[in-house]
Structure 1
Amino acid sequence: MNTTTAALADALEQRLGDPFDPANPYGFQAVVAAAEAGRRPDGDAWEVPDGDPEPVLHALRAVHRRSPALAALPPATAAGAGAGTGGLAEALAVGAGVGALDSALRITLRHLRARRLYGAAAIDLPSLRSLLSGAFADLLLCDVLATLAVREAAAGPAQHGTPAHALVVLGPRILQGALDRLSVVMGSRFYIRVGEHAAFQLLLSETQRALFEAGRRTPEADAAPVPLTELLADPAVAALCDPRLLAAAPGRGLTGRVRRAAQPAGPVHEQLYAELVDRYEGGRSFDLARRALPDRP
């Protein structure tokens, strides 16, 4: 991701600030309070500026990291997507959901680091680490599909091909599945309507509405199978992400008779988990862009 592509998202992230800061008017605490009061958080800082599709995708993720319900396509992008540019609106709507999974994964990681089970830190349990690395792999898989889909859709209707089809059909289910698994890890804390736990609830419910509303716009997409294995063997995929990491994504199980693949194990799991922690501690986004974030670890 080059500097020009990152500029829109970086500016929006800095404007919205640290979502974990309770004093931030654009943070999780303010967003949850506004949602429970049935109003939109104050200010116009949520507006995503116009730009080329890929920068807009990442800017939308900056909003989705805080509240998917507050994200809207900028006017020029919405007009272009409405003009039939190869499913661009669907690609942006589903691809933006990666931002919500980023925050949910970040909240879960913070929770497990602070929680103790059986006399030790919960984060030290191998099964929980594997689940975190699985959610991370699913996030990377969806980001690869979204990146390729947005680039193809931006090129015109004739280029609207397999990545976009895979994203619209599989993306919502992969992202929702990862969020559901993380909610189980949160345990009883998931139901507490205070602090970061309330933000997780909001992210889960708003993402479900946003993703499946986006998916319903193209119901005919389900008529054609998704050749995910062949798609992930494409050199364009390897140029974005190590295929071994994508092959470990539990969400890949949604494409066949097995509804869910096993969680990552062995060296691939270790690589995923190490990368996840490195990005978390370094204040970087979990998607392919590795953008600098204002979040405190």
Structure 2
Amino acid sequence: MTGHAVPRPGAATLERLLGDPYDPANPYGFHAILAADERGESFRAGGELLDTCGLTAGQPSSQELLEAMRAVFRRAPALAHGRAPAGPYAEAVRVGATTGALDSGLRITLRHLLARRLYGRAAIDIPYLRAVLAGVFADLLLCDSLTTAAARGIDVLPSRRGAHRHAVRDVVPRMVQDAMDRLSIVLGSRFYIRVGETAVFQLLLRESQWWLFGSAAPLAGPEPGCVAEVLSAPYLAELCEPAWLAAAPGRLRREGGRQARAPESVERQLFDELLERYDSGRSFGLAGHRVPDRP
């Protein structure tokens, strides 16, 4: 029928339409995305699907658009080019979408460690590597919390005008970048090899970096000097376990302080939750929605 708008898909529907990114036969998966990148071409099939879906049609709420953009970023941030959000909370959506790329980066690294053996045992059983994954998971949850609150129009620290916005504009991008860098170190030589399941990690890192720090990205103003207050705001604790948010190793203070390592019990809780979500096919963000990725 003509004259009827195509319903805009939510994040769960979009995930289903885009399918399992690890399936080599999936025309919207990592294999196809990398093939287009190797040819120096844009990923047309994915772009056409998003055009058909009407991702930004019908004035979606900032929260709806943020979750949908995260589903796109889990495949390739470049797919969102030309779909920049508009409105008062565009900044939060733009920055918050990159936790989708971090979700995939974390998932790729976890898959790699589950399949690899080091020093005569499964790599995933090495405490240091588990601590890295738990820390990145905590970073992801904190970045998700900050941008989700902003997308909802909530200032988590109204007593310090502009502080929350600064955290979204400047702190979150640096945390996402730092978390991806730590994962790339864990991947080791696999980070540089453009073959196999880990090959797409390099693309996710490059494209999310461009999205966050490229010419189209907003420039942050002077730091208000109250990052610690923002990251400890009560509203964030309502979105996620306070201990998990406090465990984020990306919480480095420009004032010169460095957060101590989280207690082993908290790291263990984070890692167990991470593994449970992976095994049950759920996203690593606050929403924890179903994803089509096969373990």
Normalised to the residue count of structure 2, the TM-score between the two structures is 0.87
Where in structure 2 are the equivalents of 1:186-197 lying within 5 Å? 186-197=187-198
Q: 2:250 matched to which residue of 1?
A: 251
Q: 1:38 matched to which residue of 2?
A: 40
Where in structure 2 are the equivalents of 1:66-145 lying within 5 Å? 66-72=75-81, 74=83, 77-78=85-86, 81=87, 85=88, 88-145=89-146
Where in structure 2 are the equivalents of 1:1-297 lying within 5 Å? 8-43=10-45, 44-47=48-51, 48-50=55-57, 51-72=60-81, 74=83, 77-78=85-86, 81=87, 85=88, 88-152=89-153, 161-213=162-214, 216-219=217-220, 221=221, 223-258=222-257, 261-297=259-295
Residue by residue over 1:115-146, the C-alpha shift from the partner in whole angstroms, topping out at 9 and shown as x without a partner, is: 10011000000000000000000001100100
Q: CA deviation at 1:148?
A: 1.0
Q: Is the 8 A contact 2:227 2:253 kept in 1?
A: no
Gaps (5+ residues) in structure 2?
A: 1-7, 156-160
* Structure 2 counterpart SS, 1:253: coil
Distance 1:184 1:92, change over 3 A: same
Counterpart of 2:135, as a letter, is G
Counterpart of 1:203, as a letter, is L
Counterpart of 1:11, as a letter, is T
* Structure 2 counterpart SS, 1:193: coil
Comparing both structures, which one devotes a greater share of its residues to helix? 1
Q: Partners in 2 of 1:266 and 1:72 — Cα distance?
A: 41
**Between 122-131 and 231-240, the greater mean CA deviation after superposition:** 231-240
Q: 1:157 matched to which residue of 2?
A: none
Q: What percentage of aligned pairs have identical amino acids?
A: 52
Counterpart of 1:25, as a letter, is P
Q: Is the 8 A contact 2:228 2:253 kept in 1?
A: no
Gaps (5+ residues) in structure 1?
A: 1-5, 155-159
Q: Is the 8 A contact 2:142 2:248 kept in 1?
A: yes
Q: Is the 8 A contact 1:240 1:288 kept in 2?
A: yes
* Structure 2 counterpart SS, 1:251: coil
* Structure 2 counterpart SS, 1:45: helix
Q: Partners in 1 of 2:41 and 2:135 — Cα distance?
A: 35
Q: CA deviation at 1:228?
A: 2.8
Residue by residue over 1:1-46, the C-alpha shift from the partner in whole angstroms, topping out at 9 and shown as x without a partner, is: xxxxx96111111110000111101101100111121222233123
Q: Is the 8 A contact 1:8 1:49 kept in 2?
A: no
Residue by residue over 1:200-221, the C-alpha shift from the partner in whole angstroms, topping out at 9 and shown as x without a partner, is: 01001111111113784233x2
Counterpart of 2:214, as a letter, is E
Q: Partners in 1 of 2:142 and 2:191 — Cα distance?
A: 25
Q: CA deviation at 1:226?
A: 4.6
Residue by residue over 1:64-106, the C-alpha shift from the partner in whole angstroms, topping out at 9 and shown as x without a partner, is: 001011114658x53xx2xxx2xx2221111000000000000
Q: Partners in 2 of 1:242 and 1:176 — Cα distance?
A: 23
Q: Partners in 2 of 1:189 and 1:204 — Cα distance?
A: 14
Distance 1:27 1:9, change over 3 A: same
Matched residues, number: 277
* Structure 2 counterpart SS, 1:46: helix
Distance 1:175 1:53, change over 3 A: same
Q: Partners in 2 of 1:214 and 1:261 — Cα distance?
A: 32
**Between 238-247 and 56-65, the greater mean CA deviation after superposition:** 238-247
Q: CA deviation at 1:263?
A: 4.6
Q: Partners in 2 of 1:262 and 1:114 — Cα distance?
A: 31
* Structure 1 counterpart SS, 2:50: coil
Q: 2:4 matched to which residue of 1?
A: none
